[in-house]
């Protein structure tokens, strides 16, 4: 790629600026800012579209995390001002995509490619995996941050029933609302639009292939919804949720003052995110091979 010597410099400067700003605004702690700088640099250095998808996820999710903080403070037992993420959360939410980006760089030499399985099924599947990755991340975050503020009663995804005697409390892992699910699909659309629009400036492909790229938008919407549902299903079954009578909040660990609501104490929130991202990435990757 002709501008290869310039692109890494742009990637470093842009990533450094965003990491510093995010640390100052308490979106990331120091470890999260350092990890964020590393993964964002990789994404932008390999391809502007990949960096743009990561940025779309991070900026919109960070904004929504801060929205309605006072209400969330009363509900969320793990509430942090500004929604500060650490290095573990950053890597669990972008590590897989960073690895996929490096593989793509090795295969394409840094040249941005359209989704076209006829040209390369491997490259198409890898790009599809990245689209699924950030559609899932964005979908899960939007669903959680908007859903928890919804006035509607959450339903546990394993039953979809509203229990009048013992209703599902907000903040319960695996609890879903219609508002949250719609938000997950909308979050996926944002990722798909970002990928498609940036592609106008970074890719060159035949007109029929270029037109077909529009299908990435509905695909991303489905991936965002699918990722959120997988995350909720894992949360309801493999992640512990209980109500603490002392704190009067839903908590993620058992204890003497905690009454179990749902889930086994196998995965924590980071583990649930990682598995749901992996599954959604694989499913979207396969879908791209059939669609494109």
> Average pLDDT for consecutive 10-residue bins of the chain (292 residues)?
70 93 88 93 93 94 78 60 78 93 90 89 94 95 84 79 64 83 95 93 84 94 95 90 79 82 85 94 95 92
pLDDT at residue 69 in the model: 66
Is-contact 192 214, C-beta < 8 A?
Answer: no
pLDDT at 147: 78
Q: Could you give the CA distance from residue 40 to residue 50 in angstroms, rounded to a whole number?
A: 9
Q: Would you put residue 80 in left (φ > 0), alpha (ψ -120 to 50) or beta?
A: beta
Q: Of 105, 75, 92, 118, give the one whose Cα is nearest residue 32.
A: 92
Side-chain-side CA neighbours of 211 within 13 Å: the count stands at: 3
pLDDT of residue 191: 97
Q: How many residues does the chain have?
A: 292
Tell me what pLDDT residue 6 has: 87
Closest by alpha carbon to 184, among 137, 149, 250?
137
Burial of 109 (0-12, 13-18, 19+ CB in 10 A): exposed
pLDDT of residue 162: 58
Closest CA to 278 of 43, 138, 92: 92
């Amino acid at each position: 790629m002709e501008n290869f010597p310039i692109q890494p410099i742009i990637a470093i400067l842009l990533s450094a600026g965003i990491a510093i700003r995010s640390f100052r605004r308490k979106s990331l702690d120091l470890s999260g800012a350092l990890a964020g700088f590393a993964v964002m640099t990789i994404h932008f250095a390999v391809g502007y579209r990949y960096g743009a998808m990561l940025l779309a996820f991070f900026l919109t999710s960070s904004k929504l995390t801060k929205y309605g903080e006072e209400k969330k403070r009363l509900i969320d037992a793990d509430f942090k001002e500004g929604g500060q993420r650490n290095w573990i959360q950053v890597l669990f939410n972008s590590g897989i995509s960073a690895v996929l980006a490096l593989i793509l760089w090795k295969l394409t030499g840094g040249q941005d490619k359209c989704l076209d399985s006829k040209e390369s099924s491997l490259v198409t599947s890898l790009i599809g995996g990245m689209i699924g990755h950030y559609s899932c991340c964005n979908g899960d975050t939007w669903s959680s941050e908007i859903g928890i503020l919804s006035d509607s009663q959450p339903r546990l995804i394993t039953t979809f029933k509203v229990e009048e005697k013992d209703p599902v409390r907000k903040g319960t892992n695996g609890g879903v609302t219609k508002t949250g699910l719609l938000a997950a699909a909308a979050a996926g659309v944002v990722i798909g639009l970002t990928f498609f629009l940036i592609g106008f400036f970074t890719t060159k492909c035949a007109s029929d292939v270029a037109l077909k790229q529009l299908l990435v938008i509905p695909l991303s919407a489905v991936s965002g919804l699918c990722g959120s549902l997988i995350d909720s299903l894992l949360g309801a079954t493999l992640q512990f949720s209980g109500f603490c009578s002392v704190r009067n909040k839903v908590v993620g660990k058992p204890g003497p003052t905690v009454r179990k609501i749902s889930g086994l104490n196998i995965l924590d929130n980071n583990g649930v995110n990682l598995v749901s991202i992996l599954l959604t990435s694989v499913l979207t990757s396969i879908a791209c091979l059939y669609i494109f």
